[in-house]
Amino acid sequence: MANFILKFLIYGGLVLFKELFELLNLVNLISKHLVTNDQRLYCSYSETAILIQLLYQNLAGHDTDYACQELKKDAYFKQLLETEQVASQPTLSRFFSRATEETVEALRQLNLELIQIFLQFHQVDNLIIDVDSTHFTTYGKQEGSDYNAHYCATGYHPLYAFESQTGYCFNAQLRPGNRYCSDGAVEFFRPILEGFNRLLFRMDSGFASPQIYNSIEESGESYLIKLKRNPVLSRLGDLSLPNHEDENLTILPHSSYSETVYQAKSWDHARRVCQFSQREEGELFYEVTSLVTNLTGGVSEEHFELYRKRGQAENFIKEMKSGFFGDKTDSSTLIKNEVRMMISCLAYNISLFMRHLAGGSVKNLTMKRFRKLFINIAGKCVKSARRQVLKLSSLYSLKDEFRALFERISRLNFSLPILYKARDTGPPLLGLQNIK
């Protein structure tokens, strides 16, 4: 044994991401996009190397910069980074201090390019983009932290855009806590309109704005957006209801679907509005819900069925927060916190692609569960003069599944990635066949 060095490790499953990063050529992708205010003359760690380490720390389940002190003890972690030493906590913190608005935009472009590559491995004919806002609680005097009346709490009010069928996060933006839902929404999803096609946007009534409608229509894409209630829409919904004199108005529940053409004063032209009128048991009046859309096909009931699936975005946001620390807001400035948010977004999409590759029940695992089953694996690193061997525990119960996933990753071909473009043929989505 004198010719061997034996070290133990606790994150053996990170070798899966190491293999994926190498096939993606992630180092070059990051170097192509990443921009910071880096004025260092001499440094031990490049900005790209630091970002790679932060991604590994997030994927391993660590939400603090100081976690690098713990990861130094893992024999394999330095091999993942291909460095002699793990970057220290002060080095990581200074990386965030060098971040600018250009850094955030660079991370967004990197995220979109990764998604364009990942989508080549999915059979999707249309992309359904759910735009929603959420709340990040703050506990100090962070820049941009403010009171939000909707959540009755102090913090940030970020925006997210998720693709409903695959779960990928297409964009994320950190905003001050007092911003309204739709503030800056057009600029927020413009990169999605420019980089993808055959899109359907779903949003709640907080995004019911003619600027949003016009922006999507000018791009030739489609939308389903809930409208705020008003007396005119309620009256239009009531006109479509049956009027039976012998109807027991106080006992029988009733619901119906209808549609009309409606133009608000702030709109430059009339639009199609689908309505759902519902009266609960024991109620006298109907409650009318309205959706505005530019979809040309389908009936009102189909549109409401499609819109109700938008609730899945709440689960994606929950996973982003609980599994990838997307709501970590303990830095002092808005830019630093937004960079952390985008790193969480990158880790989320990379991990989700990994789970899609695994398929089966693994695809639906939360990140916390995936870490327990496929990342937090005990093993040992045996190093000789010529090579280094990673040996996982013989008691690992999912070794066959782990090996199958590793082999599936190894067979991926990213050498000539084709940027995403939806197929011209395929099943239409309620009128999307008219979009070019």
Q: How far is CA 207 from CA 131, 160, 174, 288, in A?
A: 9, 13, 17, 18
What pLDDT shows up at residue 4? 45
Nearest to 104 by CA among 354, 268, 410, 335: 335
Nearest to 420 by CA among 190, 25, 28, 113: 113
Nearest to 264 by CA among 234, 232, 217: 232
Place of tokens 């309505």: 275
Domain locations along the chain: 5-102+360-410, 126-316
What pLDDT shows up at residue 419? 56
Provide mean pLDDT across the span 33-49: 93
- pLDDT grade, residue 31 (50/70/90)? very high
What pLDDT shows up at residue 254? 76
What pLDDT shows up at residue 249? 53
Class of domain 126-316: alpha beta
Q: How far is CA 430 from CA 49, 221, 245, 340, 370, in A?
A: 46, 12, 36, 38, 36
Does the pLDDT at position 250 exceed 90?
Answer: no
**The dihedral of CA 192, 193, 199, 204: what is its sign?**
positive
Element (H, E) at 160: strand 159-163
Question: What is the C-alpha to C-alpha distance for residues 294 and 277, in angstroms, rounded to an integer?
Answer: 21
Look at residue 367 and give its three-state secondary structure.
Answer: helix
- pLDDT grade, residue 101 (50/70/90)? very high
- b/e map 410-419, b = 16+ CB within 10 Å: eeeeeeeeee
Compute the mean pLDDT over every residue in the chain, rounded to the nearest whole number.
88
The pLDDT tens digits of the residues spanning 105-142 come to 999 999 999 999 999 899 888 999 999 999 999 988 89
Percent of the chain with pLDDT over 70: 89
Does the pLDDT at position 283 exceed 50?
Answer: yes
Does the pLDDT at position 261 exceed 80?
Answer: yes
The pLDDT tens digits of the residues spanning 375-410 come to 998 888 777 666 777 788 888 899 999 999 999 999
Query: Residue 175 in contact with residue 184, Cβ under 8 Å?
Result: yes
Which segment of 128-132, 136-140, 236-240, 426-430 scores lowest on mean pLDDT?
426-430
- Residues paired with residue 272 on neighbouring β-strands, in sequence order: 261, 293
Which segment of 19-28, 213-222, 255-264 scores lowest on mean pLDDT?
255-264
Question: Strands across the sheet with 222-226, in order?
Answer: 169-173, 159-163, 127-133, 199-203, 222-226, 287-293, 271-279, 254-262
Which residue type sits at 378?
A
- pLDDT grade, residue 436 (50/70/90)? very low
The pLDDT tens digits of the residues spanning 132-164 come to 999 999 988 899 999 999 899 999 999 999 999
- pLDDT grade, residue 82 (50/70/90)? confident
Question: What is the C-alpha to C-alpha distance for residues 184 and 111, in angstroms, rounded to an integer?
Answer: 20
Look at residue 116 and give its three-state secondary structure.
Answer: helix
Provide mean pLDDT across the span 353-362: 94
